[in-house]
Structure 1
């Protein structure tokens, strides 16, 4: 699906900041989704880009209900966390980078969320330098949220807000699988 771009940004943000949600605990994507819904409630336009993920999750179905203000694009073929990414995974991530570069250029959105971008860097789908280039191109009035464990120190250095989710206890350790509506 080809993304269409036009300059229609509503931007009511005086200044946009860079937020990073990282750590090995649950809740990074969920926090970003909460921010997306809050922004949409305030009339802001949101672009939600998911790296790595390419399957239909409950969160994607929920965000699609806000399609007037929240645009969701997935730049992955599936979740391969336990496997090595293939060339198609790398190409999907780079397609996402190209789309996001255009979105930044046309200043169409008030909030841009790069879900699992830190993991995409860790898995060598994109480089930290490519992610930093996107960060540096961010328009002044655009909020940028980057999620995923393994946030690199150079990404953290440019962030205005960093939230680290830390796992203290998780029922996965007792064999409980991801549940629809709760973890997926």
Structure 2
């Protein structure tokens, strides 16, 4: 069976959540999942239940902080590049049925690695491996090679009212 490339992008909430839902569905279908989180270095609410209940999901983070607000440091760049190298090996190994590259579009946006490097990694995958790439600012060349692109559009968000993220809901 052929694996496809899915991209979840846009300025609306739900990209990582959708990828987590797909990972859960994949496990339910007997599949192994590698979930790579770029840019993210903090603990998120999904980490503990994945570690406790889902040994079929391997989760790795390739970020140093919760998020890059201004300019990326060399350490941010190194962490992301090392992650992309590891993920490229994972993609080409055929050991995983689903590989999620969470916030990879943001990593490209902050110049941690290029869109061309990301696409080369995605295209190095084994034929059966499904790849999900998330993050705002998906590049036109990534959209072009994708088989499915979903844009999350913000219509209304409580952040605009000054509310901050809540554990278990936004992170």
- Structure 2-normalised TM-score? 0.97
CA contact (8 A) 1:40 1:66 kept: no
Q: 1:52 aligns with which of 39, 44, 63?
A: 39
1:123 aligned onto 2:115: no
More strand by share: 2
Aligned to 1:154: 141
State how far apart, in whole Å, the 2-side matches of 1:99 and 1:48 are.
Answer: 12
2:52 counterpart SS class: helix
- 2:15 maps to which of 28, 43, 49: 28
Q: CA RMSD in A?
A: 1.0
Tell me the equivalent position of 1:4: none
Superposed CA offset, 1:32-66 (max 9, x none): 00000110111100000000001111022222234
| Aligned residue in 2 for 1:19 | 6
Which runs of 5 or more residues in structure 1 are unaligned?
1-13
CA contact (8 A) 2:88 2:125 kept: no
Secondary structure at the residue paired with 1:58?
coil
User: What's the TM-score once normalised by structure 1's chain length?
Assistant: 0.90
Q: Which residue of structure 2 aligns with residue 39 of structure 1?
A: 26
Residues in 2 aligned to 1:60 and 1:163: alpha-carbon distance in whole angstroms:
24
CA–CA distance in structure 2, aligned partners of residues 144 and 109 of structure 1: 10
1:80 deviates by: 3.1
Structure 2: which 5+ residue stretches go unaligned? none
Instruction: Please tell me whether the aligned partners of residues 91 and 122 of structure 2 are also in contact (alpha carbons under 8 angstroms).
Output: no
Q: Deviations over 1:80-106 (max 9, x none)?
A: 332211000000001101111211232
For residues 124-179 of structure 1, the C-alpha deviation after alignment (integer angstroms, 9 at most, x for no partner) is 00111100101211111000000000000000000100000000000111111100
SS of equivalent residue, structure 2 residue 64: coil
Give every structure 1 segment of 4 or more consecutive aligned residues whose post-TM-superposition deviation is greater than 4 Å.
none
